[in-house]
Structure 1
Amino acid sequence: MEWRMQAIRGATTVSKNVADQIAAATHELLDAIESENRLSPEHIISVTFSVTKDLDALFPAAAARQRPGWDAVSLLDVQHMHVTGSLPRCIRVLIHAQIPVLHEEVCHIYLRDAQQLRPDLSDRAVSVSSNRE
């Protein structure tokens, strides 16, 4: 299998606009994406985080930068477009990486209340084991 550039999507939510919750949710999401896609930071080209307008206590990229090997990854935070009635307190991620899988084998991860954004992916069981708080 040859390596290809792929886009990996994911999202999660927090219950409050608190830096510790944003950091923990970001780590939980990235742990799951790395695990399910057999992804290492050296394979990552760039990562864009978007957050809903009700999250401003911490940049998710600041949390990601603390991860082993992620200090050399190009990271960007943006505010997600607001649509009335959309999912609140949501952190989304778009990762571009070189990985040895075909597009249909990429595992996009939606955790917590963000699972409702992609109900078509809800049948994928994702085990998340994180020691971060």
Structure 2
Amino acid sequence: MAVRAIRGATQLDVDEREHLLERSAELVRAVLEANDLENEDLISILFTVTPDLHSEFPAVAGRQIGLTDVPLMCMQEIAVPHALPRVVRMMVHTESQRSREKIQHVYLHGAVALRPDLTGAQ
């Protein structure tokens, strides 16, 4: 079985704790579902947030939906002037029998603009 990295991102409407937790949980669930993953398949998840988000750690959402034995870490993105605002990104490390070509990266809400090549939003 191979180790795979799966990308995902979502954009928030506002920097409010409950909204951040809701969107972050939605993103985690969407990545797991799109790639047929269970908690025991996960190695770790790295979350990043743009500098304009500070109401909560996205990892809290992971814990709330049951990822209590998966290492989760949060970091801040670099402050690039033209970057899309209010974005939570994640990289899931997992064991999977899927080839790289079969991995489904997930971009939700305004974050589809980050990777139109992966979302069909070209």
Shared fold, TM over 0.5: yes
Q: Contact (CA 8 Å) 2:9, 2:89: kept in 1 or not?
A: yes
**SS of residue matched to 1:15:** coil
Q: Which residue of 1 aligns with 2:17?
A: 19
| CA RMSD, 1 decimal | 1.0
Q: Which residue of 1 aligns with 2:82?
A: 85
Shift of 1:41: 1.0
Q: Which residue of 2 aligns with 1:39?
A: 37
**SS of residue matched to 1:72:** coil
Q: Which residue of 1 aligns with 2:92?
A: 95
Q: TM-score, normalised by structure 2?
A: 0.96
Q: Mark the runs of 5 or more structure 2 residues left unpaired by the alignment.
A: none
**SS of residue matched to 1:21:** helix
Tell me which of 51, 54, 59 is aligned to 1:53: 51
Distance 1:35 1:59 in 2: 22
Q: TM-score, normalised by structure 1?
A: 0.88
Q: Runs of at least 4 residues of structure 1 off by over 6 A?
A: none
Q: Contact (CA 8 Å) 2:106, 2:119: kept in 1 or not?
A: no
